[in-house]
Amino acid sequence: MRPFYLAFRVMLLLLIVPMGVSAKFDFNANCLKAYNAIFSLKLNTARQLIAAEKKLNPDNGIIPLLENYVDYFYLLTTDSKVEFDRLKQRKSDRLDQLEDQDSTSPYYLYAQAEVNLQWALIRGRYGEYFTAAREIKKAHGQLLDNQKMFPAFILNTKGIGLINAFLGNLPDGMLKSTLATFGIKGDLSQGIAMLDRLAETLPQSQYEAFFEEVVFYYSFVLNDIAHSPAAYAKTMKYTAQISDASLLKAYLRALVAAKSSHNDEAINILMTRPTGLVYQPFPYLDYLLGAAKLNKLDYSSSTDFSRFLQLNKGVSYVKDANLHLSWVALLKGDNAAYMAFVSKVKSSGYTYQEKDKQALNEANDAAPQKTLLKARLLYDGGYFSRALDVFSGLNEADFAVGRDRTEYYYRLGRILGEVGKDDEAIVKYQRAINSGRSLRYYYAANAALQVGKILERKKSWLKANSFFNLAIQMKNHDYESSIETQAKAGLKRIEGN
């Protein structure tokens, strides 16, 4: 946060909190410093400030909320299942502490909802879907009740917007079915609208101190849930107002840039990110840097993947990092190293993340065709002209019937679509569908999804509907849940046209 606004924010926050008994929720200067430290990923600094607050104001209801924020970001950055199992025991104690606070404060239900929602988001990473669903239901009810009692307390819309967006685009599975049992549904567009409005208005309001948190969740929704084409512009716009000393800012910017064809920018952000012992270790950033480098065929990326594997104590991206290392070896012509890394994909890590599941599938398959692998990486980095050049002088006959030929059609379709040749892209996509719909690979299903999106842009509603449904109908392939979710979102967008 910008330090020269600190005194102003403290004054405003003090105006928010009613006098008398509700002063038990005292978001004072010390708590605000701790909150700011959390959202810069200076977690040890935050812990020290919270400990000082405990000595001065042991009954301050903001303390358990801040402690939960620390645990939440600690678990996000470490990705440790062991630490998750240890720390989740603290949730009930924190809720007990919050329930003993002043029930006439707008922070009373809000803080409890935050604790429930944060744990639900973490649990989803480890498959604890039933408990996560109950926590989401609880948080949603608490926020709606708080909104009725304190309609001017606009922070309620942060959680409500996040829940709407999250549930509105949730893939079919245990969590979605459990939430449906509880009668909870979401609306992605409504959730995005709430968060967008909050990001716009918060800096001019008395709740400006919470701006970074809103931007964090909003970027997550746009990038990971909605797969919105506006994710890059919105994230860059709002994070520009956050201090460059924030490691969380660097993470958000790099993640969104890497996923939106701004690969060189992602590399620069990660190479110049704030460092030092004051920051929470975040090995995933090394993985992200390695992936961005490899997307431009920079084989020094192996150093970054190796650093990630050395420092990482978590359960995610281990298989995928080893898969990327195998690709580096393959492209360099080192077949022995390729096989060694493929073996590590199979023997190490877990499959909580979809990327790790896919990495294991690929490790159990034949080695990728090198030309297709190069095109795939360059496409993912947004280097579309270079990706197209990879296929120069080649045609379908140069690729084996089955997996490789289907991928050839699919890759060309993706690249042609990005360089504005939609009609040619549709032709390639249709060939990918025809040759790959009976295979277990995702190329045919995602080709159908992409054709649906092109036709949607062209306002050819009936044809778009047909291809979105085709993407849904194809089963038992990689990324099935993600593709189906996006196709259903497409059907919802064109509904009524």
With beta carbons less than 8 A apart as the criterion, state whether 133 and 149 touch.
no
Asked if the domains 3-280 and 371-497 are classified in one and the same CATH topology, the answer is: yes
Rama region for 478: left / alpha / beta (φ>0; ψ in -120 to 50; rest): beta
Phi, psi of 279 (to 5 degrees): -95, 150
Q: How much is the pLDDT for 324?
A: 98
> Per residue in 148-158, pLDDT tens?
999 999 999 99
> What is the structure's pLDDT at 178?
67
Task: Say if CB 398 and CB 386 are below 8 A apart.
Answer: no
pLDDT at position 166: 85
Instruction: Classify burial at 6, counting beta carbons within 10 Å of its beta carbon; exposed 0-12, middle 13-18, buried 19 or more.
Output: middle
Check if CATH label 1.25.40.10 holds for domain 3-280.
yes
pLDDT at 62: 97
CA angle 313, 71, 98 (to 5 degrees): 160
pLDDT digits (tens, 9 = 90+) for 166-217: 887 766 665 666 666 667 778 889 999 999 999 999 999 999 999 999 999 9
Write the DSSP string, 358-396. HHHHHHTSPPPPHHHHHHHHHHHHT-HHHHHHHTTT--G
Q: What distance in Å separates the CA atoms of residue 131 and residue 121, rounded to the nearest whole number? A: 11
Q: Class of the 283-367 domain?
A: mainly alpha
Write out pLDDT tens, residues 344-382.
999 999 999 889 999 999 999 999 999 999 999 999 999
304, burial (CB in 10 Å: exposed 0-12, middle 13-18, buried 19+): buried
Domain ranges across the chain = 3-280, 283-367, 371-497
What is the reported pLDDT for 172? 63
Express each pLDDT in 280-318 by its tens digit: 999 999 999 999 999 999 999 999 999 999 999 999 999
Three-state SS for 334?
coil
CATH 3.40.50.300 for domain 371-497: no
Give me the residues of the chain with pLDDT under 70, please.
1-23, 170-182
**What's the whole-model pTM score?**
0.90
Q: For residue 124, what pLDDT is reported?
A: 85
9: tokens are: 């924010």
Place of tokens 């797969």: 227
